[in-house]
Amino acid sequence: MEKIVVANRGEIAVRVIKTARKMGIKTVAVYSEVDRNAPHVKLADEAVCIGPPPSSESYLKGDVVIEVAKKLHADAIHPGYGFLSENAAFAEAVEKNGLIFIGPRPHAIRVMGSKLAAKEAVKKYNIPMVPGIDEAITDVEKAKQIAAEIGYPILIKASAGGGGKGMRVVESKEVLEEQMKRAISEATSAFGDGSVFIEKYVESPRHIEIQILADTQGNTVHLFERECSIQRRHQKVVEEAPSAILTPALREAMGQAAIKVAKACDYVGAGTVEFLLDEKNNFYFLEMNTRLQVEHPVTELITNLDLVEQQIKIANGESLAFSQEDLSIHGHALELRVYAEDPLNDFLPSVGTLEVYRPPSGEHIRVDDGFKEGMEIPIQYDPMLSKLITWGKTREEAIQLMIQAIQDFDVAGVQTTLPFGSFVFEHKAFRKGTFDTHFVKKYYTKKGDQQQVTAAAEVAAKVALHVHLQELKKLRLSK
């Protein structure tokens, strides 16, 4: 493999280009008109504009991306995450055009792209699943019957969904019909597929995912877990590895279950199997993401592996250079997704210009980003500016370094999730590891955040007063 087209933008495009360069592989960036001056465009060896700002007219134009790859004599296409990364038809078209798709085979993408098909595929492996129905449903009366059997609250989920779209929690039968209509409508609008299914709602879950790698020779390993329970609108904001609550036995059980899920769809490449963990530490299969995850850096830091490098090697036909027994956890890693959002206004996007953008640096601090100072935040795409990652020998050490790194992260011109990150990492529930996916709803309010800011200001004032009094004392003694 000598040249790769990176079919993405922002921090993940920069991330892939850096690893390819390290491996001696040339890169081609594709970009929309609004991204003409983006860092990934300047970093790549070659760059091609593929259309106007809307992703439907640029980054989602698979045929155009393939044409660029062929014209510039590239060997492969790396889709990153989002956009075309989980598009089975695109993966198929890449292969039909004699190119390498750096990701799983189309079959695996199709199976795991449907939550119902995924459940069906893993059934024979005896992997625990949340009680519910394994078929699409639109009949309200049948839905009421199923709900009565498994007990309220229930969760209505879009089969083709993700990111919280087409998802509704239903507390009673009185609101079931209305919530089903809303879920079907939202799923149809977001995915072009209104199929929904029903399962028991796990009330205080933790979101635990297992990273797997599988080569073309049949070798599959897991790279331990990531804790992804701090979420807003069912989307992750804070991730860590390893989880603060998994025992070695539970970690191994979940890891082996993830390997079985991968084998159920003949998986090849890097993928992530997601589970819900209830209050009694029972885990249930949720879904499989057939791509690189946004939060992959925390796994890299605790395993000392470059997951993009592994993806490229596997796509090139190489076998894994290590077995499960060779892998172990080193220290602890945390990640904060720095979004251009206003945490005190329901995390709504904050559009503007990065008047100041100065990320922190230092030992065990990593920043994956795709923006520079002076750039505008395009309204057409996901508002993530960067990912702030820290590593420590212990969880406490990683937390303290993260708190300091957030303080040193200087951004002006837009609101960001940095203050929210401070709130999370300083909160006693997070520090004790006693949190779940309802952290934001339970603890993060405008009042709560302001109280924390006020408390921090009071501490700073007391420190300043102490320093001032000490200086006065020194002056009196010197006279």
Overall domain count for the chain: 3
- b vs e for 90-126, b when ≥16 Cβ sit within 10 Å of the residue's Cβ? bbbbbeeeebbbbbbbbebbbbbbbbbbbbebbeeee
| pLDDT recorded at residue 204 | 87
Is residue 187 pLDDT above 50, yes or no? yes
| pLDDT recorded at residue 453 | 46
Residue 441 neighbours by CB distance under 10 Å = 11
Boundary of a domain, candidates 56, 86, 102: 102
Burial class (CB in 10 A: 0-12, 13-18, 19+), 388: buried
| pLDDT recorded at residue 463 | 47
Is residue 446 pLDDT above 80, yes or no? no
CATH number at residue 313: 3.30.470.20
Mean per-residue pLDDT of the chain:
92
Task: Check whether residue 390 and residue 258 sit in a common domain.
Answer: yes
CATH number at residue 16: 3.40.50.20
| pLDDT recorded at residue 115 | 85
pLDDT mean over 457-472: 51
SS (H, E, C) 341-393: EEHHHCCEECCCECCEEECCCCCCEEEEECCCCCCECCCCCCCEEEEEEEEEC
pLDDT mean over 97-103: 98
Residue with tokens 């072009």: 192
Is residue 455 pLDDT above 60, yes or no? no
In a domain, 411, yes or no: yes
pLDDT mean over 141-145: 89
| pLDDT recorded at residue 472 | 57
| pLDDT above 90: percentage of residues in the chain | 81
pLDDT mean over 242-265: 97
Using alpha carbons, select from 475, 57, 24, 398 the residue that is nearest to residue 238: 398
In a domain, 324, yes or no: yes
Task: Check whether residue 393 and residue 343 sit in a common domain.
Answer: yes
Is residue 451 pLDDT above 80, yes or no? no
Task: Check whether residue 52 and residue 161 sit in a common domain.
Answer: no
In a domain, 458, yes or no: no
| pLDDT recorded at residue 137 | 86
Separation CA 268–CA 216 (nearest Å)? 6
CATH number at residue 151: 3.30.1490.20
Task: Check whether residue 297 and residue 439 sit in a common domain.
Answer: yes
| pLDDT recorded at residue 467 | 52
> Catalytic: which of 105, 291, 366, 395?
291
pLDDT range class, residue 469, cuts 50, 70, 90 = low
pLDDT range class, residue 61, cuts 50, 70, 90 = very high
In a domain, 451, yes or no: no
Cis peptide before 53 (omega within 30 of 0): no
pLDDT mean over 238-263: 98
Task: Check whether residue 41 and residue 66 sit in a common domain.
Answer: yes
| pLDDT recorded at residue 203 | 85
| pLDDT recorded at residue 460 | 45
**pLDDT tens digits, 370-412:** 999 999 999 999 999 999 999 999 999 999 999 999 999 999 9
In a domain, 470, yes or no: no
pLDDT mean over 184-208: 90
In a domain, 472, yes or no: no
251 is catalytic: no
Element (H, E) at 211: strand 206-214
In a domain, 144, yes or no: yes
Is residue 307 pLDDT above 60, yes or no? yes
In a domain, 22, yes or no: yes
| pLDDT recorded at residue 349 | 93
Task: Check whether residue 279 and residue 402 sit in a common domain.
Answer: yes
Query: Is the four-CA dihedral 453, 454, 455, 459 of positive or negative sign?
Result: positive
Task: Check whether residue 282 and residue 379 sit in a common domain.
Answer: yes
Which residue would you say has higher pLDDT here, 452 or 427? 427
Q: Is the pTM of this model over 0.95?
A: no
| pLDDT recorded at residue 193 | 87
pLDDT mean over 328-350: 96
Task: Check whether residue 354 and residue 266 sit in a common domain.
Answer: yes
Element (H, E) at 250: helix 248-264
| pLDDT above 70: percentage of residues in the chain | 92
Task: Check whether residue 28 and residue 50 sit in a common domain.
Answer: yes
Is residue 465 pLDDT above 80, yes or no? no
Side-by-side strand order, sheet with 196-200: 168-170, 154-158, 196-200
| pLDDT recorded at residue 373 | 97
| pLDDT recorded at residue 65 | 98
pLDDT range class, residue 454, cuts 50, 70, 90 = very low
Task: Check whether residue 88 and residue 139 sit in a common domain.
Answer: no
Task: Check whether residue 435 and residue 381 sit in a common domain.
Answer: yes
Task: Check whether residue 145 and residue 253 sit in a common domain.
Answer: no
The domain in which residue 210 lies consists of 206-446
